[in-house]
Structure 1
Amino acid sequence: MTTVDTVLAHAAARREDSRARWFELLRIPSVSAQPQHAQDCRRAAEWVCAELRGIGFTANVRETKGHPVVVAHHPGPTGGGRHLLFYGHYDVQPPEPIELWTSPPFEPALTDGPNGPRVVARGAVDDKGQTMTWLEALRFWHDVAGGPPCRVTVLVEGEEEIGSRNLAEFLEANAEELRADVAIISDTNMWDPATPAISTRVRGLLYTQVDIRAANKDLHSGLFGGSALNPINLLTRILGDLKDEAGEILIPGFYDEVPELSPAQRAQWDALNFDEKAFLGGVGLSVPAGELVRGPLERLWARPTADVNGIWGGYMGEGSKTVIPAEAHAKVSFRLVPGQSPAKVLAGFRDFIVARLPEDAQVSIQVFSMSEGIEVPADSPHVAAARGALAAVFGRPAVLMGCGGSLPVVSQIKEILDLDCLLVGFGLEDDQVHSPNEKFDLACFERGIDSHVRLLAALAEG
């Protein structure tokens, strides 16, 4: 029996212990967006730090301008060789609306599902459960072999759910300490419950708030209607101009830096036989949107988007109040593909709005998040090592897929530490991430642990 086999057997014999530790972390309401949970965020950081110290790491809770980060180091068997950086986050989304949960969001519940038992709790999969997959793998390597098979650094932050707004500064200040050969992140999905995946493309994000102002106060719509400018009418007209009927985004120059898919990439994705009808049916929809001349996976993984995420202004209470509002506001986000510059898209969006403003209107644009899309070379030796490790656990090859969401940390790690990120995730489409009743299938959690056990060995050898 090899060392890897012994570690895997040890992990399999201690499934209940792994689950108990996972539940401990899930019970900490570490909601980074809500000030009342600041101490809970610190408590989660201290919990992770203590666990790492318990398995032989030198670990510390480090301060930022916001929630703290955990940094830990292990020299491996010789103090040299391959150096891996594991990244995760302990913060979670707010649980509201609470009334839609079937069980208390911070009291993990083991329930039955179509794929077997599942754990329901806020953070079950994003990202406490996925972080625990590699933390438990490190634990079992420690138990069997005295430590991981190579040098390992760990970075666990507490602000991913609010845009990792202090992480870049921390990375810059500690770049030499954190630099490694590759960063490993588990915060993405598998292709399906039986098929592992490595995400080699991640879209970037530009998230803005548009504020349009006209009169110096709300106006009576009877006295001023027909004469005074209505900012809500103006804003909705501008936002309506963003796309044509075929779903193409009409900001000049928006597609200048968007590459076309290679024939090989298109053929690989077509071979996945993605069922868009079932994908939409699961959320109560039936008709695709977006650029309709493109294929479904291309739209999800390789094409940029523009979406209005929220819009408000004027009177929104019960009953009626006949006003022409002085202000109108909208949240507008863009998912960007590798090659697109968020700064250039922002400038184009600003020009698009300004060109449509009448004389009495003023606009301001707030920017809440800017991150570039990232593509990891599919022929990377790290990807090859991960594919071998995953195939050994799942009995089938891993799919190389895109990720329609955005992980700002991926672009930050690439830009500041000059590291590629290996995105090996174990979530599923139906995990209800950021929604009530978030869950993580127990089989995915356990296979995630086994995958990281093998991945550690594969990357150490590579």
Structure 2
Amino acid sequence: MTLTPVLERIDADLNASLDRLMELLRIQSISTDPAYADQCEAAADWLVADLQSFGIAAEKRETPGHPMVVGHVPGDGPHVLFYGHYDVQPVDPLNLWHRDPFDPAIEDANGTRVIRGRGSSDDKGQLMTFVEACRAWQAVHGSLPCRITFFFEGEEETGSPSLVPFMKEFADELRCDLALICDTSMVAPGVPSIASQLRGMLKEEFTLIGPKMDLHSGHYGGTALNPLHAIADIVASFHDSTGRVAVEGFYEGVHPLPDELKRQWEGCGFDEDDYLGSVGMTKAHGEEGFSTLELQWARPTLEVNGLWGGYNGKGSKTVIPSEAHCKITCRLVGDMEPDHLRAAIRKHVEDRLPQDASVQWDNDVDGAKAAVMNIERPEFEAARQALSDEWDREAVFVGMGGSIPIAGLFKDILGMDAMLIGFAQDDDRIHSPNEKYNVESFHKGMRSWARVLEALSKK
């Protein structure tokens, strides 16, 4: 089966592919709002019918929440699973949209053709790049170059409560050689990217307790322990003067960045000034000795997300509060263990409690390890070359500062490595009003997946 006629078919059918995407975008599949449950069902039904329309054995599977869509393509050769999600974020505030978010249209945005509408980038547009690539292969050759399992969920934007039970129940059916995930972006315009590592997450929250009640600051000021003063000292102790986290044992499991990845990152087209300037900063303020991309993708963090206590209303209330509160999150890399890190942070805080203070930990928290892809597998280099050929630019293995839990779940539950390839842009405004997806991302995304499938079929 040759690739060239498949790419030609994708080019010739671009308008029809856009029309199908517009149909899917019109379905208001907001997963977090029960009022849109019927629309989530409709989106799942639409995807089932669309897959079936070009010969995929697909069906809707009910869950306690929104349904899954599962489809199978039998055949020889490597077996890959493609994952995407059909649910979308709410559209509020509606008044900030330039058009009805569920009335998608192709617009001109400063000379770039874009698909405007909720879900255009996250994740319906991305999902359909793969579906359309498969449709083209099927139309030209009557079959696909790989065995493929399609796996679409409808609760990604609400934390995927049904995902883990479903994956465990149907593990034997879903298990493949490799998982493909489309819910990512390119590191810079025109630079195709494969995510090689995702940071994990640890959440923690504590209350520092001092006096048994709020105190009059005239009667007790200067003599009583002030929990706000104490918690400020503890928070300040989390980092040293170079920005390095000062919690003992924090960096256990953190590994140096391989030279080849560092080379790719240095030449990937990332614009540091634009990245910082877009949020009103003039320099990176993190750990010294690392580039901005290293800080974002390859270094762990400890961030204070909330710090409060005492009186927060208008005017003044002269009290010494009895409690002060702090929320923190850590981004994890490499082989950092959430449970070990949690114990280290708690010890750091408890060792610094002043006399007459105690700490209460919120145990309704969670943590997840970083996901590190096995880019030594030959499929990764094959996909990287396929993307380079399509975009006429060296594709790069990149990191991601955030977390995509499904990648870790594929590894933990199904024992599968995941390859993350997406074509979104940083300015796609996902989760925000006026979300868009570049027509070029959609078109070349389809062509890219066609090339990747051919490359994987030979491994």
Normalising by structure 2, we get a TM-score of 0.89
Aligned residue runs from structure 1 range 408-427, under 5 A: 408-427=405-424
Q: After the TM superposition, which of the residue ranges 304-313 and 417-426 deviates more from structure 2?
A: 304-313
- How high is the sequence identity, in percent, across the aligned residues? 43
SS of the equivalent of 1:332 reads strand
CA contact (8 A) 1:350 1:365 kept: no
| Deviation readout 1:91-126 (Å, 9 max, x if unpaired) | 233333444433343333433234611123332212
Aligned-pair CA distance for 1:180: 0.7
Q: Which runs of 5+ in 2 are unaligned?
A: none
Which residue number corresponds to residue 173 of structure 2?
Answer: 177
Which residue number corresponds to residue 44 of structure 1?
Answer: 43
Which residue number corresponds to residue 90 of structure 1?
Answer: 86
Partners in 2 of 1:245 and 1:302 — Cα distance?
A: 20
What is the one-letter code of the residue matched to 1:9? E
Residue number among 101, 119, 124 corresponding to 1:123 in the alignment: 119
Partners in 2 of 1:25 and 1:218 — Cα distance?
A: 56
SS of the equivalent of 1:155 reads strand
Alignment CA distance shift 1:434-1:246 (3 Å): farther
Partners in 1 of 2:191 and 2:185 — Cα distance?
A: 10
| Deviation readout 1:206-260 (Å, 9 max, x if unpaired) | 2344455667776776677667665555544433332223211122101011011
What is the one-letter code of the residue matched to 1:89? H
Residue number among 125, 134, 138 corresponding to 1:138 in the alignment: 134
Q: After the TM superposition, which of the residue ranges 64-73 and 228-237 deviates more from structure 2?
A: 228-237
Which residue number corresponds to residue 287 of structure 2?
Answer: 291
Aligned-pair CA distance for 1:84: 0.9
SS of the equivalent of 1:48 reads helix
Partners in 1 of 2:407 and 2:426 — Cα distance?
A: 21
| Deviation readout 1:314-339 (Å, 9 max, x if unpaired) | 55555666666565544422111121
Q: Which runs of 5+ in 1 are unaligned?
A: none
Which residue number corresponds to residue 354 of structure 1?
Answer: 350
Aligned-pair CA distance for 1:438: 2.6
SS of the equivalent of 1:125 reads coil
Partners in 1 of 2:147 and 2:312 — Cα distance?
A: 57
Which residue number corresponds to residue 52 of structure 2?
Answer: 53
Residue number among 434, 437, 454 corresponding to 1:437 in the alignment: 434
Aligned residue runs from structure 1 range 33-432, under 5 A: 33-75=32-74, 79-114=75-110, 116-211=112-207, 232-272=228-268, 274-312=270-308, 316=312, 328-357=324-353, 359-432=356-429
| Deviation readout 1:57-101 (Å, 9 max, x if unpaired) | 2223223444332222121xxx33211100111223333344443
What is the one-letter code of the residue matched to 1:250? A
CA contact (8 A) 2:48 2:59 kept: yes
Root-mean-square deviation over aligned CA pairs: 2.8
SS of the equivalent of 1:135 reads helix
Which residue number corresponds to residue 22 of structure 2?
Answer: 23
CA contact (8 A) 2:261 2:397 kept: no
| Deviation readout 1:5-43 (Å, 9 max, x if unpaired) | 222222222222222222233333333344444443333
CA contact (8 A) 1:95 1:105 kept: yes
Partners in 2 of 1:235 and 1:30 — Cα distance?
A: 43
Q: After the TM superposition, which of the residue ranges 442-451 and 221-230 deviates more from structure 2?
A: 221-230
Q: After the TM superposition, which of the residue ranges 429-438 and 255-264 deviates more from structure 2?
A: 429-438
Q: After the TM superposition, which of the residue ranges 389-398 and 440-449 deviates more from structure 2?
A: 389-398
Partners in 2 of 1:125 and 1:290 — Cα distance?
A: 30
| Deviation readout 1:260-282 (Å, 9 max, x if unpaired) | 12334333433446432222112
Aligned-pair CA distance for 1:312: 5.0
CA contact (8 A) 1:339 1:373 kept: yes
CA contact (8 A) 1:122 1:437 kept: yes
| Deviation readout 1:279-306 (Å, 9 max, x if unpaired) | 2112222121211221222112110112
Aligned pair count reads: 458
